[in-house]
């Protein structure tokens, strides 16, 4: 158990819909990362938040957005869903300020868009 | 971040050491080598990381060559539960880009 929690574990929805994925980082970790893993793309970085502020952006679609709240949990919002958005979504958290900043991953949310 | 090259797949007999190689010939002096593994669609699990010296923890050992252009992850006594995809990742020590860049990894299959 990494200490990172994600809800829900599974999500089934229809095209055009909007969903919210939630992540709670390990106690003390200020930074949260979101990654997407699809069959054809592998694990890809989407976005990073640090202490409530966006810090880095990867291959995140404009239909996707994220935020980090004062209690440090983060939400990833996916809208106008398409079949190709079906994937595993992982969040990871890390301590910031050390040279290593090792990331610890949650168990993921499996999204299926029908 | 430097690109890494890993074999696509490897087999290992249960109870034997599993040696997983990684080539990172373009690594720079300010980049760490990280190893993660992913067991069947679970979240990636951190294993170990290193900069220059060899490292060992309760899960594995990491051997980095003197020129730092390659490394080997060693699982000393592989079990069936070690069957997973193993990712070797190189990431800079500092800078604003702190994300991990995953490649295709090595599918390790531990055989009974």
Model confidence pLDDT, tens digit, residues B48-70: 999 998 999 999 999 999 999 99
For chain A, give percent helix, strand, coil, nearest 5. Answer: 5, 55, 45
Contacts of B31 (CB under 8 A, 6+ apart): B1, B2, B24, B90, B91, B92, B93
Task: Supply the DSSP symbol for B82.
Answer: G
3-class DSSP assignment, residue A83? helix
* Residues of chain A contacting B100 with CB distance shorter than 8 Å: 33, 35, 43, 45, 92, 103
Residue with tokens 């060559």: B65
CB B71 within 8 A of CB B7: no
pLDDT(B35) > 80: yes
* Helix-then-strand count for chain A, H and E: 0, 11
Predicted local distance difference test score (pLDDT) of residue B95: 66
The answer to whether the bond into A8 is cis (omega within 30° of 0) is yes
Confidence at B22, pLDDT banded by 50, 70, 90:
very high
Predicted local distance difference test score (pLDDT) of residue A40: 77
Question: pLDDT (tens digit, 9 = 90+) per residue, A64-102?
Answer: 999 999 999 999 999 999 999 999 999 999 987 666 789
Residues in A whose CB is inside 8 Å of some CB of B read 2, 4, 31, 33, 35, 37, 42-45, 48, 55-56, 58, 88, 90, 92, 94, 96, 99-108, 110
């Amino acid at each position: 158990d990494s200490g990172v929690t994600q809800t829900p574990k599974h999500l089934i929805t229809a095209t055009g819909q909007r969903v919210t994925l939630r992540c709670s980082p390990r106690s003390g970790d200020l930074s949260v990362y979101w990654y997407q893993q699809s069959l054809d793309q592998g694990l890809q970085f989407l976005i990073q938040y640090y202490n409530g502020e966006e810090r880095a952006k990867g291959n995140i679609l404009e239909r996707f957005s994220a935020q980090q709240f004062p209690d440090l949990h983060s939400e990833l919002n996916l809208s106008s869903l398409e079949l190709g958005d079906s994937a595993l979504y992982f969040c990871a958290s890390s301590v910031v300020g050390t040279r290593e900043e090792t990331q610890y991953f949650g168990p993921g949310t499996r999204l299926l868009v029908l | 971040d430097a690109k890494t090259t890993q074999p696509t797949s490897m087999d290992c007999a249960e109870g034997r050491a599993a040696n997983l190689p990684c080539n990172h010939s373009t690594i720079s002096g300010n980049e760490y080598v990280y190893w993660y593994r992913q067991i069947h669609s679970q979240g990636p699990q951190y294993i170990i990381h290193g900069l220059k010296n060899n490292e060992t923890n309760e899960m594995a050992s990491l051997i980095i060559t003197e020129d730092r252009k390659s490394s080997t992850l060693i699982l000393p006594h592989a079990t069936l539960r070690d069957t997973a995809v193993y990712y070797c990742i190189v990431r800079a020590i500092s800078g604003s880009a702190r994300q991990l860049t995953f490649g295709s990894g090595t599918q390790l299959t531990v055989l009974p």
